[in-house]
Structure 1
Amino acid sequence: MSVHLPFENTYVRLPDRFYARIAPTPTTAPRLIRLNRPLAADLGLVAAMLESSEGVDVLAGNRVPEGADPVALAYAGHQFGQFVPQLGDGRAILLGEVVGRDGVRRDIQLKGAGPTPFSRSGDGRASLGPVMREYLVSEAMNALGVPTTRALAAVVTGERVIREEILPGAVLTRVAKSHVRVGTFQFFAARGDIEGIRLLADHVISRHYPQVRAAAQPYLALLEAVVTAQAALVAHWMSIGFIHGVMNTDNMSIAGETIDYGPCAFMDGFDPEQVYSSIDRGCRYSYGNQPRIAQWNLARLAETLLELIDADGTAAVEQAKVAINGFSTHFEASFIDLMRRKLGLGSARDGDLDLVKSLLGTMAQARSDFTLTFRHLCAAAGGEDAALRGLFTGPAKIDAWLAGWRERLATEGGDDAERAARMRQANPLFIPRNHRVEEAIRAGIANDFGPFERLSAVLARPYDNQPESAAYARPPKPDEVVLSTFCGT
């Protein structure tokens, strides 16, 4: 069966200083772990073709399909606050772009496809664990309605990679609206390449924000659009207890998608200062710090655009400041809108943000499970408080909060059962809990992908009760708690 992917490549029309042309490095004995058949269909791709031996060769990097133009993208970035002028795709190769059935153009990239000119002495490979983690978490995020890169396929290579130990190698086929990052703009700014920044900005406008073309100041409007998209994205993370783990500027997508699932995690017990990443020793990217860091990253983007925003440097700085300061307003509006849905509130009233903050403060004191607190709140909307109260030791404070919440609900009226049903569509029961992800990874490394398949199926329906899978909703036992997550590079 011949392999044909309907590529239409626009990024490679940019000058060659934007990327390095490089073919994937073939692997020894690739084997498909999982193909995301629904995503393949959405992209207009034939699943049977991708599952064939020729298709698996494409997904592993052993065959470059017709129409592909493989490149590794150049970018820079602030990593934990320290600027690195050249990073780039050190283990990822963009094959090309496809236009899906929805009319949206998306990149298809192989992650773990071998060394590139940006590898900085790395092997360019990925180990199986991080590939499985990114597949599970990115697809769970999509099911939760969070803008995200997607996982089209995971392949084991038949080779071993050396990290802290010797591990099976793997390749992830990642799908994204774009792989342009804040760090991509920083790459050109660090070189004083204003024309490069202009070309990149024009590309981003054309592909992601065409509505800003007609603005009086399109590059300022671009900055404002990215600020709005990132504020909404981070608000969504916060509403589900997600911690990205490594919010460097090179891990921040201009398209407003969650990208680069390294040491990411979902919280169990709620703690605003929670950090899982083993490399975040200063707690820079803790749960509660994520809005501040996102705004800081966007300020770095603004710095690269100043000469395009206004020829008058002082005026450019002032206009950029207004755009960056608008992040807080956009974030708060998105966050309170999401939280109203989670609390069953159908209208906006003064005091709603205080009600949310009071609940989160009560949860933090009790370290109550983030996901189950909100899920059990759905039952409490119908008067069933036992499950929710059981998450709190000495439930007097949650009882007091419930009284205030019910007073707020009473101002809206409505049917309790209908409200509870709506809340269940805003409060997931199933998330990729760290211990379940680790369980699937350990089994996969031992060549048992049953737990990975079962967890994938559960996470595809996060809002459904799924009584046969109730164990996947439970928090970890004390000996199952995962305290650290790892990047995998």
Structure 2
Amino acid sequence: MTAFTVQHSLFDLGSFFTQPASPKAVQAPQWIAFNQTLAEQLQLPAELHATQTGLSVWSGNHVPEWAKPRAHAYAGHQFGNLVPQLGDGRALLLAEIIDKHGKHWDVQLKGAGPTPFSRGGDGRSAIGPVLREYLLSESMFVLGVPTTRALAAVASGELVFRDQGGVPGAVFTRVASSHLRIGSFQFASLHGGAEKVKQLADYAIARHYPELQDRTGIERYLAFLHAVAMKQAELISQWLRVGFIHGVMNTDNTSICGETIDYGPAAFLDSYHPQKVFSSIDRRGRYAFSSQPAIAQWNLARLAECLLPLLTVAPESNDEASAKAARENAIAVATRVLDEYSARAQALWLSTMASKMGIEHAQAEDDTLIQDFLVVLQTHDVDYTQAFWQLANELIENSGESASGESVLVEPTAPAASLFAKPDDYLAWRQRWLQRLSDNQRSVHDTVNAMRSVNPALIPRNHRIAEAITEVEESGSLKRFYTLLNAWKTPYHMPTSELELELYQAPSKAEEVQRTFCGT
């Protein structure tokens, strides 16, 4: 095995961007989960796996020689309101590890105690948010959505005190391509000006966008903004594909690498409602499901504002008019990138949704067909995941009759029509859809397989995650957590086992989770 390799490149930028912080030992650490496959990818030494030494390290009770724990400084717009300084209030970046493919990963402890940015908080995490992030991030990974990963989860053996009183605590080890956020650039701009923004941008380019290294001047930073924007467009299209709602798309939760990061109030759609919100504090629906593409653009505009000094050509003269013209030109070129994001996001939405419907080559006119299907789902309160999974069954002979209007049949082998108690609207749309599929060059069999590859049957449903959290909080049992973690590893195959059939089901009205919480 290749030698375990670490770096500390972000730390090397100096104390402006990170502050030293040491984890605070916990009383009685116990394993919750350890990601053996990811550990092997990272080439972690065996003693850092699910061992006593590993337990000591991933609980924060022992800082190994290769680790240099520091907290990252960043600012951010939270629900549209700028907070000049946030930073890692309960997270410590240990090191940058190079995996067996040569890719660099940040390894971070969450819930390991206070940092210089804790703002009076205890820096701890309750066990519920740890279980949620572990299940969600690993599910997103197998769903094919860019995401941070879960390496380890450790129960602290201590209580943390929140509004609901004392609850069990835990420490989570997160692995990410980077923990740089748009908020990182906002912090640099607010507190260090153009010089610090340039330093951070050059670092981000060298580490995450090395193909831009040879570019110089304005072109270099404009290309960086464009690259980040395109990554965001790709990420949001994947969120929409699987019905994911991030819940708190603040600029400090927007990775410049295009990965899903920070799973506080995140959740998946059950019944399709475009304005669905889960976050307990998103009372105005800022981060609703269908608003996510526009919010990503808003966040990118904040990054563009930080980069404006680097996109501004120095005027030939020092008069006010020349300076104003230079700035206006910088705004114009940045705005073009934001417009390109919008066009790319729309194109990806069209192609992604068309692929979910089995359409081989998306056309502009398919937008109406797609939108009309979503309206039918919303009108009839039909589950998003089940509707797309069972849509493929409409193409399979002998898949069953349409719903009679008296009952709703929810089985993974049933046609989508059976999801509708009153299917007339759907059946009218279905005829248009089948006519559109007649343009496909591939066989029905290949179309079904293509639909199966982008439409999951199993998603980490909110009420199932809530069951696992409740079980461990009330009885200390992790049985349900492990059951879900294993079952959700294969989301794209036909559910056949008793457990898979159970997990395929949408929640009843009584089971629906209406609100999720950040857990800070």
The TM-score with structure 2 as length reference comes to 0.91
The equivalent residue for 2:247 is 245
| 3-state SS, counterpart of residue 438 of structure 1 | helix
Contact 1:5–1:67 under 8 Å retained in 2: no
| Partner residue in 1 for 2:162 | 163
Distance apart, 1:213 and its partner CA: 2.4
The more displaced of 405-414 and 271-280 is 405-414
1:350: how far off?
Answer: 4.0
RMSD: 1.4
Q: 1:331 aligns with which of 333, 337, 345?
A: 345
Contact 2:36/2:49 (8 A) holds in 1: no
Residue in 2 that maps onto 1:395: 423
Counterpart of 1:418 (choices 440, 446, 464) is: 446
With 369-378 and 468-477 compared, the bigger mean Cα shift is at 468-477
Amino acid corresponding to residue 209 of structure 1 in structure 2: Y
| One-letter identity of the residue aligned with 2:223 | A
Aligned ranges 1:39-78 → 2 under 5 Å: 39-46=38-45, 49-78=48-77
SS at match of 1:65: coil
C-alpha deviation, 1:188, in angstroms: 1.5
Conserved? CA contact 1:429–1:464, under 8 Å:
yes
Indicate if the aligned counterparts of 1:58 and 1:65 stay in contact, CA closer than 8 A: yes
Deviates more, 1:282-291 or 1:389-398: 389-398
CA distance in 1, matches of 2:392, 2:121: 48
Q: 1:479 maps to which residue?
A: 510
Instruction: Give 1:19-418 correspondences, 5 Å limit.
Output: 19-46=18-45, 49-164=48-163, 165-215=165-215, 217-311=219-313, 312-383=326-397, 384=399, 386=402, 387=414, 388-418=416-446
Q: CA deviation at 1:436?
A: 0.3
Larger Rg: 2
**Could you say what secondary structure the match of 2:5 adopts?**
coil
Distance between the aligned counterparts of 1:351 and 1:251, measured in 2?
35
Aligned partner of 2:321 in structure 1 is none
Query: How far, CA to CA, are the matches of 2:246 and 2:36 in structure 1?
Result: 26
Please state if 1:488 is matched with 2:490: no
Find the aligned partners of 2:303 and 2:70 in 1 and give their Cα distance.
24
1:240, distance to aligned residue in structure 2 (A): 1.1
User: Any idea what the Cα deviations from partners look like across 1:355-392, whole Å, max 9, x if unmatched?
Assistant: 21111111111121000000001111225364311222
Distance in 2, Cα, partners of 1:42 & 1:85: 37
Distance verdict in 2 for CA 1:379–1:185, change over 3 Å: same
Amino acid at match of 2:470: R
In percent, how many aligned pairs have the same letter?
A: 45
Is contact 1:240–1:371 with CA below 8 Å preserved after alignment?
yes
CA contact (8 A) 2:89 2:119 kept: yes
C-alpha distance in 2 between matches for 1:256 and 1:152: 20
Q: Tell me, which stretches of 5 or more residues in structure 2 are unaligned?
A: 314-325, 403-413
CA deviation string 1:278-305 (max 9, x = no partner): 1111111111111111110100000000
Letter matched to residue 469 of structure 2: I
Distance 1:49 1:255 in 2: 27
- In the alignment, the residues of structure 1 paired with residue 68 and residue 136 of structure 2 have an alpha-carbon distance, to the nearest angstrom, of 28
CA distance in 2: counterparts of 1:187 and 1:323, whole angstroms: 22
Number of the residue aligned with 1:6:
5
In the aligned structure 1, how far is the partner of 2:46 from the partner of 2:418?
46
**Mapped contact 1:181–1:250 kept (Cα < 8 A):** yes
Q: Distance in 2 between matches of 1:236 and 1:123?
A: 35
Please state how far the C-alpha of 1:477 moved relative to its aligned partner. 1.8
1:67 positional shift: 1.2
Deviates more, 1:371-380 or 1:335-344: 335-344
The aligned counterpart of 1:467 is 496
Distance 1:369 1:466 in 2: 16
TM-score (norm 1): 0.97
Kindly provide the amino acid, as one letter, of the partner of residue 357 in structure 1: Q
- 1:338 is aligned with what amino acid? T
SS in 2 for 1:98: strand
- 1:37–1:47 Cα contact (<8 Å) kept: no
Q: Which runs of 5+ in 1 are unaligned?
A: none
Report the count of equivalent residues.
Answer: 486
Q: Distance in 1 between matches of 2:222 and 2:441?
A: 44
> What is the Cα deviation at residue 418 of structure 1?
2.5
Deviation at 1:6, TM superposition (A): 3.0
* Distance in 2, Cα, partners of 1:192 & 1:135: 35
Whether contact under 8 Å (2:222, 2:334) holds in the other structure is yes
Name the structure 2 match of 1:442.
470
Residues 393 and 37 of structure 1: CA distance in aligned 2, closer, same or farther (over 3 Å): same
Per the alignment, do residues 378 and 282 of structure 1 end up closer, same or farther by CA in structure 2, a change over 3 Å counting?
Answer: same
Taking a change above 3 Å as real, the CA distance of residues 46 and 461 of structure 1, as seen in their structure-2 partners, is farther
Tell me by how many angstroms 1:347 deviates: 1.8
1:6 touches 1:67 (CA, 8 Å); kept in 2? no
C-alpha distance in 1, partners of 2:259/2:392? 29
Q: Distance in 2 between matches of 1:429 and 1:135?
A: 20
